[in-house]
Structure 1
Amino acid sequence: MASSSSSLQWCSALHGGALVVLAVLLVALVAAETTTTGPNWHAVSVSSLLPSAAAACTASQASSNSLALRVVHRHGPCSPLQSRGGAPSHAEIMDRDQARVNSIHRKVAASVIEPARASKGVSLPARRGISVGTGNYIVSVGLGTPVKNFSVVFDTGSDLSWVQCKPCRDCYKQQDPLFDPAQSSTYSAVPCGAQECMELDSQSCSSDDKCRYEVVYGDQSQTDGDLVRDTLTLTPSAELPGFVFGCSDEISGQFGQADGLFGLGRKKVSLSSQGAPKYGPSFSYCLPSSSSAAGYLSLGGAPPANAQFTEMVTKSDTPSFYYINLVGIKVAGRLIKVPKTVFATAGTVIDSGTVITRLPERAYAVLRSAFARFMDSYSYKKAPALSILDTCYDFTGRTKLQIPSVALLFAGGTSVNLDFTGVLYVAKVSQVCLAFASNGDDTSIGILGNTQQKKLAVVYDMAKQRIGFGAKGCR
């Protein structure tokens, strides 16, 4: 009997120990789902969210391509424009960003509606370019002989490049002196009958047979002037003679303090298209993670070895835009449950000038819910919405954060893990928001904005009609 009692006690102890072990295993499994290491989570220092008051421009590893231009945020310490005017508020940035998005939506919608209306003999309004928005990133280029340097916004959503020129009837104040055609020995005006003139969306002929261009942007900003040719200096060792651009002598609207705009769209007049015969049919850029760092913009050159590519979709009705097929999103390594038809119906363009990525309403709702669920597991305090950003947190008093990763999935099996600066938009430590927004419906075109592109080497391979993403392209 004693032996039997002892056996029962031993079994009971073993059973209790097994329960303890099982409980420990369950805790470990739960912890594994919210691990702070690996690709599914970002460990972030709160002090790194905002630059210090004395933030200085830091060097950045750029592309090895000799044609690489330095890309900086126009309102940061690396910008040559920083001495003129203050940066817009975060609310103003969001408002201007929404104006750009609205104009992209209108342009895409008009490309579908206008052909049908035109076939019925209905008069149509003049085509308008998309809104300039906040013009977030700039490069410095040289024009003319001898060369004069200018700081210009670069924009994948625009085609025609332009700078303000002398004499100017109505120009805004800019950092550098206006371009003076009379001082350049390589300058020439493009005549009305030239092919470059005929290919413009809106052109006219002056009394002296010069080709006049007009670009009206979606926010009602406008530039008018002569279409001209001159030598473009990209770097000290790279020139593009006979570069066609707009010499603006009349400007209205909000272009900030930049000296002009350089377009990288898909039409023949864009910088990338004009540079293709000499430097190759591709270009790439990397947008820095902060305003105190620098990235690059390169014409030609080989893509980074780690680049993953997805097919570029061509749409003849909106030929300037770069379309790609977004097919899914992962949060903390888990695929969110959104039917692929939701992404396919809306379609997606990649745009350097839109700040915040826009998603179809159904896709955004599921993304927001999944992201918030993981954030709730850390009991982060909620913060008020910031304009279009409705999922915000207050990290006051915290030193370390665990942020779920977000990965974008594209056709062909391409998976792009976003840097944490591509997941969060930081207005202040007490208001840090999920950097995505809804289109408000499931039919308007989705837009992959520049916040999500930070630190990625983004490659536009026009020869193979594909777009690639390489991790750690710049700081």
Structure 2
Amino acid sequence: MASLVRRCMMPYGCCLAALLALAALASPGRLGAAAAAEGSGVKWHVVSVSSLLPSAACTATAAAPNSSALRVVHRHGPCSPLRSRGGPPSHAEIMGRDQERLHAMHRRVPKGANVTLQARWGKPLGTSNYYISVGLGTPARDLSVEFDTGSSQSWVQCKPCADCYEQHDPLFDPSKSATYSTVSCAAKECREFGSQNCSSGNNCRYEVSYADKSRTTGTLARDTLRLTPATTVRGFMFGCGHNDAGVFGEVDGLFGLGRGKASLSSQAAVVYGDAGFSYCLPSSSSTVGYLTFGGAAAAPANAQFTAMVSGQDDGSWYYLNLTGIKVGGKAIKAPSAAFATASGTIIDSGTAFSRLPPRAYAALRSAFRRAMAKHGYRRAPASPPFDTCYDLSGHEVVRVPSVVLVFADRTAVALDPSGVLYAWDEASQAACLAFAPNTDETYLGVLGNVQQRTLAVVYDVGNRRVGFGAKGCA
């Protein structure tokens, strides 16, 4: 969803006609966040309908915060050279994969369970939507890998490969790297992260399986990882996959950014001083974001921080304490207890759409529907998992109520309009509230990547907090 052009700075008394005039003159894209108080104090964003739809062209964006940042690209968008030869996935496929990931998360932390699972590779979890480019080996081979805050394992496809899915780049060849080495069965890393059945010679084996039946198996290894021309991580541990299958969208592998000791961010701490990192996911798949390491040092001046809290998973996820939501400047009619689940709430780069406990979602839906009804928008049929959709045919612009997430320490995070309304089909001109309910009050809540768009999200791991900075990227 296209970048924000400018904000309407008119006084509260400005009329809709003036805003529509602005819409007519503006270039295609988001027209601005126009706050208004119409007696009831409702605040809204004025957005061009065309900007809600996917673009076929890659749009240049502002530079990353520093020269050490990695470029983040949506793997199905026009900025990605990894787009599937068959075209991007359909809306149904996107929803299906997102739901599979969610189901895997629910299985990983059973509802209402008060347990801590052992940290091992092989837990089923879906794949992410965004990728970065890194160099692996000596000399460095450029690879495109997905990154995922919901897991801690990292792997790439390697030669020889008995059964590999088709990827964009040639397979990584360990024999051509002067710094490659395997992890032995006797090493403590094998006991912690490898296969429990280490019987294939002296090399430690690993296996990772995902909710959609994708999988990778191979050898646990180490090599030099180049993140930027000036930054390398020596002895980076990863899985060298020799038998892989799945719908990975032609990426060369996946790097985990979870809290586990094997994650990229944890291993990069030897270079950056801590396991922190930050990223900004762009407003649409046709623009570019960034990923940088170094924790609080990378935080923008406008970042607001909320505490990480304890969770029940195997040590990979980042838990937050979401306690409320405001729509159009008003708190929804749900107590903070409605946001509490037995399994907690995580922030996740790999799940697309946020999932809320049913009571909290119902209150959000009611508030959003009331705000949209004030402007006469016609409802459209539901499109599961979305049940609050609108027919925007005939509209050049749409007024979207502001949505603000509120955390336990009163941190308030305003979402970009691209994280509030989601559209996918130019023919239908339908757009839906980009949240969905869990089917049970006790299930894990998730703050997904669509709601994180354009925010600089800072994982200050050392101080156990997550920060959000507005206008982090386009």
Global fold match (TM > 0.5): yes
Distance 1:166 1:439 in 2: 42
Distance apart, 1:206 and its partner CA: 4.1
Number of equivalent positions: 432
Extract unaligned runs of 5+ from structure 1. Answer: 1-28, 119-125
Matched, 1:355 2:352: yes
| CA RMSD in angstroms, aligned pairs only | 2.1
- In structure 1, the residue corresponding to 2:334 is in which secondary structure? coil
In structure 2, relative to structure 1, the CA distance for the partners of 1:110 and 1:362 (3 Å cut) is closer
Q: Which residue of 2 aligns with 1:121?
A: none
The one of 125, 136, 146 aligned to 2:129: 136
Report the TM-score, using the length of structure 2 for normalisation: 0.87
Distance apart, 1:191 and its partner CA: 0.9
How is 1:8-87 mapped onto 2 (pairs within 5 angstroms)?
Answer: 31-33=38-40, 40-52=43-55, 55-82=56-83, 84-87=85-88
- Secondary structure in 1 matching 2:212: coil
Kindly tell me: are residues 291 and 317 of structure 1, through their superposed partners in 2, closer, same or farther at Cα, counting changes over 3 Å? Answer: closer
For 1:24, the equivalent position in structure 2 comes to: none
Corresponding residue to 1:399 among 388, 396, 399: 396
Name the structure 2 match of 1:434: 433
Decide which structure has the larger Cα Rg and report it.
1
SS at match of 1:197: helix
Q: 1:371, CA displacement in angstroms? A: 0.2
Structure 2 gap ranges (5+): 1-35
Residue of structure 2 in register with 1:154 after alignment: 147
Q: Which residue identity lines up with residue 164 of structure 1 in the other structure?
A: Q
Contact conserved, 2:83 with 2:250, CA < 8 A, in 1?
no
| CA offsets 1:97-137 (integer angstroms, 9 cap, x no match) | 01101111110118937779x9xxxxxxx98524325x311
2:68 partner letter: L
Kept after mapping to 1: 8 A contact 2:49/2:398 = yes
Tell me the secondary structure at the aligned position of residue 355 of structure 2: strand
Provide the rounded CA distance (Å) in 2 between the counterparts of 1:462 and 1:156.
12
Distance (Å, rounded) in 2 between the aligned partners of 1:204 and 1:179:
25
Query: How high is the TM-score relative to the length of structure 1?
Result: 0.87
Q: Quote the Cα distance in structure 2 between the aligned partners of 1:316 and 1:418.
A: 27
Counterpart position of 1:297: 291
From 315, 318, 324, the equivalent of 2:320 is 324
Decide whether aligned partners of structure 1 residues 268 and 113 sit closer, same or farther in structure 2, where only a CA change above 3 A counts.
same
Q: Distance in 1 between matches of 2:332 and 2:84?
A: 44
Higher fraction of helix: 1
Cα distance between partner residues in 1 of 2:179 and 2:116: 41
What's the CA shift for 1:334?
Answer: 0.3
The one of 324, 339, 345 equivalent to 2:335 is 339
State the shift of 1:345 in Å.
3.0
Identical-residue share of aligned pairs (%): 60
Q: Determine if the alignment matches structure 1 residue 181 to structure 2 residue 174.
A: yes
Query: Quick one: distance in 2 between partners of 1:467 and 1:186?
Result: 35
Match of 1:241 in 2: 234
Q: 1:212 aligns with which of 205, 208, 215?
A: 205
Distance 1:459 1:453 in 2: 11
Q: CA deviation at 1:197?
A: 1.5
- The reply on whether 1:273 has 2:273 as its aligned counterpart is no
Aligned mate of 1:287, from 260, 266, 281: 281
- Of residues 235, 247, 251, the one that matches 1:254 is 247
SS at match of 2:109: helix
Q: Report the 3-state secondary structure (helix = DSSP H, G, I; strand = E; otherwise coil) of the residue aligned with 1:454.
A: coil
Give the conservation status (yes or no) of the 8 Å contact 2:281–2:453.
yes
User: Structure 1 CA distance, aligned partners of 2:206 and 2:310?
Assistant: 26
For the structure 1 residues 339 and 383, does the alpha-carbon distance in structure 2 shift closer, same or farther, using more than 3 Å as the test? same
